[in-house]
Amino acid sequence: MRARLILLAALALPLAAAAAPTLRLPSAPGCPVFPTDNPWNRRVDRLPVAPGSK
């Protein structure tokens, strides 16, 4: 039974992935998700890593 569920999931995944590009989201030209001065647009690759993080 478990093998059938895994097989079904493996077969359903490509179908779901193939349908994803057909979905169009509305666009707002000239309206970025976050403005350039928003903290979410800052580079983080050179920031220190938290001590408890791997």
Q: What is the pLDDT of residues 16-51, one digit of tens each?
A: 776 666 667 677 777 777 888 888 888 889 999 999
Q: Is the pTM of this model over 0.85?
A: no
Q: Given pLDDT bands bounded at 50, 70 and 90, which one contains residue 8?
A: confident
Measured CA to CA, the distance from residue 1 to residue 30 in angstroms comes to 52
Residues 6 or more apart whose CB falls under 8 angstroms from that of 34 comprise 40, 41
Measured CA to CA, the distance from residue 52 to residue 54 in angstroms comes to 7
Which of the pair, 8 or 21, is modelled with greater confidence? Answer: 8
Measured CA to CA, the distance from residue 18 to residue 10 in angstroms comes to 13
Which of the pair, 18 or 12, is modelled with greater confidence? Answer: 12
Measured CA to CA, the distance from residue 52 to residue 35 in angstroms comes to 31
The angle at the Cα of 12, spanning 11 to 18, to the nearest 5 degrees, equals 105
Kindly list the domain boundaries of the chain, sorted by start residue: 1-41
